[in-house]
Amino acid sequence: MAVLNSGRFKVNINKEQIEKTKGRCKSLAQGEIPDRVPFIFTPYGFKWANPAKRHIAENCEDWLEFQVARINFQVKEFPEGDYVPFLWDGLGTMFMASLYGLDVFTDEKQGFLVKDRLIHRLEKDIERVPEHVDPENIGLGPELKRRVKLFLEATEGEIMIFLPNIQCPYDVAVQLMGNDNFIIAAYDTPDLIHELLKRVTNATRDVIYAMQKWVGNTDLLMLDNTLPFHGHGLKLHDDYVSVLSPDFHKEFCYPYNMQLYQEFEFGSFHTCGPYLPHYCNAIFRHKGITAIEAHGCIRTCQQRSRNDLLELKTLCMENNVAISACLDTMGENPV
């Protein structure tokens, strides 16, 4: 067991166990059979008060201390489990929107929020969206950089840094103009929607390149925490996409997701919503993804039957895609 630092941010990690976990995850991603299924079990009993979102947003040292306490509790209570510790910024889903110069404020429950949309009428406002963003100097970018440096120094460069919640290109575009306006514009001015998506896809690249520069070691930058091992690709957070039709997704989401997957290697998909049949069709069109997070599907199991989950499992097996799920979210209706 290695002990990093000796003060407020002391971290206890088992490097040998971490390497075993990475090996199991790599086997799954490559379609092989590991010695056992990776099992990341977070035991109940963690007594540290979960800081409010506003506190996370405004006090990164306290946020780091909270994350370190969670890592230590995890390692102590379930040392044989599969767990690759990482630190994340805690800045929330509005991080990308802030890089376009929108005013940012902190909310008690939701953390950082923006005060306005960047785009009200796409034909007029498309030029408000630059071809690239500057994470070094705009919005929450400088705060992210500060947190990355703090996290690395405090844990002596031994704990991986996870990407901010950058979402997928469609989700970022929706943050800039709202979902209703996006869908209307997709019918009225599809060329402008594609131009918008091209620009926000560039912004995702800009953030990843900046993170690579700040971290300084590709081994320490985690692009996907679903199957975390060195060389694994990007995780896309597709939180809003389950409301779209397959044809709409194919035209406006798939091309830009694929650009990112092809540049940063295939990783996984995450959604906060259920895995409805048409959404599964959209996911498995991305030939090459290694895993999906099914937390949302498990959370809504009171509305989903055993057959629904069995169908999801069958589809994943047919497409050689692993499933990551939190069993502790199943509530009173385990499946």
Q: Which of 170, 171, 178 is nearest to 121 (CA)?
A: 178
Looking at residue 333, its pLDDT comes to 38
H-only helix segments in the chain: 15-29, 53-58, 60-77, 95-98, 122-125, 141-154, 169-177, 179-188, 190-215, 246-252, 254-264, 277-284, 295-299, 306-318
In this structure, what are the phi and psi dihedrals at residue 270, rounded to the nearest 5 degrees? -130, 140
Looking at residue 140, its pLDDT comes to 92
Looking at residue 37, its pLDDT comes to 86
Spatial separation of the C-alpha atoms in residues 68 and 86, rounded to whole Å: 9
Q: Within its chain, how far is the Cα of 37 from the centroid?
A: 22
Looking at residue 329, its pLDDT comes to 45
The dihedral built from the CA positions of residue 291, 296, 299 and 304, taken in this order, carries a sign that is: negative
Looking at residue 43, its pLDDT comes to 63
The helix (H) or strand (E) run that includes residue 266 is strand 266-270
Extract the residue ranges of the chain whose pLDDT is less than 50. 1, 301, 329-335
Q: What is the largest CA-CA distance in the chain?
A: 60
What are the residues whose beta carbons fall under 8 Å from the beta carbon of 241, sequence distance 6 or more? 168, 170, 171, 249, 253, 271, 279, 282
Q: What confidence tens digit (pLDDT) does each residue in 283-302 have?
A: 888 999 999 887 655 555 45
Q: What confidence tens digit (pLDDT) does each residue in 247-291 have?
A: 888 999 999 999 999 999 999 988 776 677 777 888 888 999 999
Summary mean pLDDT of the chain: 85
Spatial separation of the C-alpha atoms in residues 304 and 165, rounded to whole Å: 27
Looking at residue 173, its pLDDT comes to 95
